[in-house]
Amino acid sequence: MPDTYCTDPRVIDLCARLRAARMKAGVNGAYAARAMGMTPGRLSALENARTEPRALDIALYVRLTGVPADELVFGDDPSNRELIEVPDCEEARATSPGSAGRARSLQKRREAKARALTQNRQQPVPKPAGPVWRPAAWSNGDEQEAAS
């Protein structure tokens, strides 16, 4: 096994699953790197756990191999799913510092945008000042008679 910089066994297992999924899909490393928009060295670093995979990397593997993300991330072992705590988004937002201020600011922006939209609808379209130029080919001679 190559030298690894990631010491977390879960990351090492994840990287091995990424490589296995690519190989099972029958995609060589050079093609995979090109298809995912990365260098072959970066692909190698990911698959050999020298670099920790990011969410984008996993999404690229999902698209390349067709293997579902949860299968890539967690594998077949159901105990892996228990190791990752996913916080409730609403609870996290409510307890984060400054969240009330951000919510008020967002609400004010939405209200201002709604006011601007309704004001714009109520205003009539202004008519051009002065005579309107029209090509001579459009005239039927009435304008010339009215001018004389």
Each residue of 30-59: pLDDT tens digit?
999 999 999 999 999 999 999 889 989 999
- pLDDT, mean over the chain: 76
Q: Looking at the structure, do residues 30 and 73 belong to the same domain, yes or no?
A: yes
Q: Provide the pLDDT for residue 73.
A: 86
**Torsion angle of the four alpha carbons 64, 66, 72, 76, in this order, in degrees rounded to the nearest 10:** -150
Considering the domain architecture, whether residues 74 and 97 belong to the same structural domain is answered as no
Same domain, yes or no: 21 and 53: yes
Statement: residue 28 has pLDDT above 90: yes
Provide the domain count of the chain: 2
Instruction: Give CA separation, 44 vs 13, 25, 70, 145, in Å.
Output: 15, 17, 22, 84
Q: Is the pTM of this model over 0.85?
A: no
Asked if residue 133 is part of any domain, the answer here is no
Last-in-domain residue among 58, 83, 108: 83
Residue with more model confidence, 97 or 42: 42
- Report yes or no on 1 lying in a domain: no
Residue span of the structural domain in which 22 resides:
9-83
Examine residue 25 and state whether it is found in any structural domain, yes or no.
yes
The percent of residues in the chain predicted with pLDDT above 70, rounded, is 57
